[in-house]
């Protein structure tokens, strides 16, 4: 038994060194010390816990801040322009026509991006995406995906079908972001009027640019335009058919309310799909109605005759010698359809005599001619809201040759909208009203400026009616609407002078003659004659019939009664001719 004692003593010693006396056996002084030790231990633990909670909260805040910053850098660091649309952008208002049809609206679309660090094989991914996104540049995308950036745009504003096709590929490292996109349900119809925006929803052209502030006001309310899409549809259709028939390079159509200045229709051909402006040619995006200037030919004779009446140079019935030709400043002026006789003031206008018009302007002088054109706003850009409004091209000097040629629309280049507005002033009793794309409320008074004596304006309008009844504009007559108008044919300038084989042919119409309400201007750029026109491509043969067809179609839609018809019949015709929503071009991807 002695051999086990050493082991027992060692165990006892170890127990005594690590164990506290039992509570029942401890002395009072030992009890106090034990309680004090326990209190200190608990306090230390609680303090440590508090410090750990504070440290944890600080770490959470710090790591949250780092995560937010890292996310922001991942999104914006390599993404180029800011892509997160603000609330105001999401509420960009719709553009609608005067009847409430939507011309431009905002939809949410999906945009595809990649995190190159998560892409397994850059070449394989780029090749696969190119099969479902044909607009993607495969080589450039491959280089982007092979980079070490965290964010790369692949393609924005995908169609639902494209998004599904990308999903089906099952490629890692790809994701989508929802972005707003401006869409144009009518596509090409009124594209030059409506315009388009950039990716950040800022207007770049047309009404999108002109009314950008109103569209981005933040209230989300639609912005109405004066355009009537039913009228626009028919003007567009007639112009396309006419342009094709005469193989013209371009065509323009304008319909304007003479009393309010409202532009009810504005067509410029060739045109473009407003949903894809980047894919259009520059000449397709060009708004020829406002942005291009042309020598408009004999339409200017309306202003020359007004000048004769206003200055007292001539009165109705007074004659001018239009025999032979006229030499002015080394230039010879001839009549296209020479009468070779003395012509009355009315005949100068009706038969469109260059010689008679030149004689009137030369007698009036440069100052009087400039004053008349200035009052009609033909010496400055059109005041329409569109930024695409061109300055006229004026002669460097205003000598006898310039006075003579300007009297019949050569030597000065203006936009079609400027000419339409000047004819609207004549139709409005000599009061000029600014052209506008903003609708006028019923009963609203529109302020205009008197630019011509009312009696003079009426006399010119009477002569315009004679042009349609007995002169060069007979093919513009629209039965029941008593059209008044003036033809215009101008040779286009080129190297070495004017080219008689390249014409600007036009017709400026007012209807109805008895109660003028609307101006219709049709212009064709380089039309070609046909067997039906005896190979003539002048305004009377090409533009005038188109104007008459347009008036026949749109007059009932505008509530203009046929001569002798009751209002109820007019309403029936309007309903019959107004295109339904189904017949108008729809937005398609």
Just list the catalytic residues.
Answer: 298
**Crossing angle of helices 567-577 and 543-557, rounded to 10°:** 110
Which tokens sit at 170? Answer: 């099952």
CA nearest 421: which of 516, 549, 520, 311? 520
What is the three-class DSSP state of 353? coil
CA dihedral (77, 78, 81, 86) in degrees, to 10, reads: -50
Residue 524, beta-bridge partner list: 251, 505
Strands 102-114 and 95-96: antiparallel
Distance CA 383, CA 508 (A): 19
Distance CA 278, CA 319 (A): 56
List Cβ neighbours of 406 (8 Å cut-off, separation of 6 or more): 300, 361, 369, 373, 395, 412
The 250-257 sheet, strands edge to edge: 263-269, 250-257, 518-525, 497-511, 484-494
Beta strands in 164-262 (DSSP E): 174-183, 196-197, 203-205, 223-224, 250-257
Distance CA 263, CA 384 (A): 9
């Amino acid at each position: 038994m002695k051999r086990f004692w050493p082991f027992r003593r060692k165990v006892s010693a170890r127990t005594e060194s690590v164990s506290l006396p039992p509570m029942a056996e401890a002395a009072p002084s030992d009890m106090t010390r034990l309680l004090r030790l326990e209190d200190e231990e608990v306090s230390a633990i609680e303090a440590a816990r508090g410090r750990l909670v504070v440290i944890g909260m600080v770490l959470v805040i710090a790591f949250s801040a780092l995560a937010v910053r890292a996310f922001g850098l991942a999104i914006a660091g390599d993404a180029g322009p800011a892509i997160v649309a603000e609330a105001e952008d999401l509420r960009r208002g719709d553009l609608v026509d005067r009847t409430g049809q939507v011309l431009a609206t905002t939809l949410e679309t999906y945009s595809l991006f990649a995190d190159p660090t998560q892409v397994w094989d850059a070449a394989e991914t780029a090749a696969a995406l190119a099969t479902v996104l044909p607009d993607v540049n495969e080589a450039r995308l491959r280089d982007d995906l092979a980079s070490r950036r965290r964010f790369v745009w692949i393609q924005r504003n995908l169609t639902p079908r494209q998004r599904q096709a990308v999903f089906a590929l099952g490629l890692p490292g790809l994701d989508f972001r929802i972005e707003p996109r401006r869409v144009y349900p009518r596509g090409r119809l009124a594209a030059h009027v409506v315009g388009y925006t950039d990716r950040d929803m800022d207007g770049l052209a047309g009404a999108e640019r002109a009314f950008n502030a109103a569209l981005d006001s933040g209230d989300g309310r639609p912005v109405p335009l004066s355009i009537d899409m039913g009228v626009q549809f028919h003007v567009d259709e007639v112009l396309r058919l006419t342009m094709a028939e005469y193989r013209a390079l371009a065509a323009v159509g304008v319909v304007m309310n003479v009393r309010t200045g409202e532009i009810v229709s504005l067509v410029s051909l060739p045109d473009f799909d407003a949903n894809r402006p980047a894919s259009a040619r520059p000449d397709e995006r060009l708004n020829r109605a406002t942005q291009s200037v042309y020598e408009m030919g004999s339409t200017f004779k309306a202003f020359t005759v007004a000048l004769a009446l206003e200055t007292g140079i001539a009165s109705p019935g007074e004659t001018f010698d239009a025999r032979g030709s006229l030499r002015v400043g080394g230039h010879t002026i001839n009549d296209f359809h020479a009468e070779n006789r003395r012509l009355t003031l009315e005949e100068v206008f009706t038969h469109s005599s260059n010689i008679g018009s030149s004689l009137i302007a030369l007698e009036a002088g440069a100052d009087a001619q400039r004053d008349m054109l200035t009052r009609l706003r033909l010496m400055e850009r059109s005041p329409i809201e569109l930024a695409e409004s061109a300055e006229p091209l004026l002669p460097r000097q205003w000598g006898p040759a310039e006075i003579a040629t300007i009297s019949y629309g050569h030597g000065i280049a203006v936009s079609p909208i400027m000419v339409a507005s000047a004819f609207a002033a004549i139709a409005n009793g000599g009061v000029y009203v600014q052209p506008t794309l903003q609708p006028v409320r019923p009963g609203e008074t529109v302020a205009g400026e008197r630019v011509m004596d009312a009696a003079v304006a009426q006399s010119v309008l009477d002569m315009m009616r004679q042009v349609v009844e007995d002169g060069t504009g007979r093919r513009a007559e629209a039965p029941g609407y008593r059209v008044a108008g003036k033809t215009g044919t101008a040779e286009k300038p080129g190297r070495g002078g004017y080219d008689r084989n390249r014409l600007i042919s036009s017709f400026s119409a007012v209807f109805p003659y008895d109660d003028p309400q609307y101006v219709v201007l049709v212009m064709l750029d380089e039309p070609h004659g046909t067997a039906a026109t005896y190979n003539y491509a002048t305004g009377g043969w090409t533009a005038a019939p188109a104007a008459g067809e347009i008036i026949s179609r749109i007059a009932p839609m505008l509530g203009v009664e046929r001569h002798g018809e009751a209002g109820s019949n007019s309403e029936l015709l309007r309903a019959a001719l107004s295109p339904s929503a189904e017949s108008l071009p729809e937005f398609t991807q």
